[in-house]
Structure 1
Amino acid sequence: MSATSSRRTRWFFAGFALVSLVLAGVVSYAADSDPDGLDTVTRQGCTEAGEELSGSCPAQHAEDHALAGTPLADYTVGGDDAFTGVAGVLGVLATLVVAGALFWLLRGRSRDRQ
């Protein structure tokens, strides 16, 4: 790989990361706070009385997940909707780090085989 090609690749990935982070930080605030399609479908056949569901629907058996009490649960930071963008940025950063590490590991193995 030439130096120019390597430099272009680095600029491309840096630009990709920057656009992803900006979109995650800004577009996260436009996310709808109403239940998504899966929640809506699982609640069909039930009536809500506050937090309690009555009737016959799969959502009656739903429980909080193991990470419900963590700082990044429910797409927010600390349960505060004002920090939805921060949670989006942290999610993108985590994804970029994991994907980058996997690509780096796989790239190293393919060079060893040649």
Structure 2
Amino acid sequence: MRNRRFFAAFLLVALLVAGVASYYASSHPDGLEYVAGKTGFLDSAEDSPTADSPLADYQTSGVDNERLSGGLAGVVGVLLVLGIAGGLAWGVRRRTPAEETVADDKDEATV
């Protein structure tokens, strides 16, 4: 029960940071883009193959409100990472001997 409260609080904080605090992030270019602009090779940059994806440039395509678009992209990103990481962790978790026996019994019953 204690772990569930911790994870629920962690998820809430992550969603708030992604959805609300991300709006207040710096609008200045990142370090690589800044250096490329200073040294004069920014014009030779090519668009990413994912430049037309639904969450490109930290915005959600189809949402006109810039604040809502960025917040929604952050929330979707948090949920995607949580889902992928949680799925991987669940898939590779260690099982207790009792769980392995139940899983083996289910496998034998379906054969």
TM interval, shorter chain, is 0.7 to 0.9
- Percent identical across equivalent pairs? 47
3-state SS, counterpart of residue 111 of structure 1: coil
Q: Distance in 1 between matches of 2:2 and 2:96?
A: 25
Per-residue CA distance 1:40-67 (angstroms, 9 max, x = gap)? 1122232xxxxxxxxxx2x332111111
3-state SS, counterpart of residue 95 of structure 1: helix
Kindly report structure 1 stretches of 4+ aligned residues shifted beyond 3 Å: none
Larger fraction in helix: 2
Structure ranking higher on relative contact order (CA contacts 8 Å, 6+ apart) = 2
Q: Distance in 2 between matches of 1:45 and 1:26?
A: 34
1:30 maps to a residue whose letter is Y
Q: TM-score, normalised by structure 2?
A: 0.75
Structure 1, gaps ≥5 residues long: 1-6, 47-56
Equivalent residue for 1:103? 89
Larger fraction in strand: 1
Q: TM-score, normalised by structure 1?
A: 0.73
Aligned length: 95
Q: Aligned Cα RMSD in Å?
A: 2.0
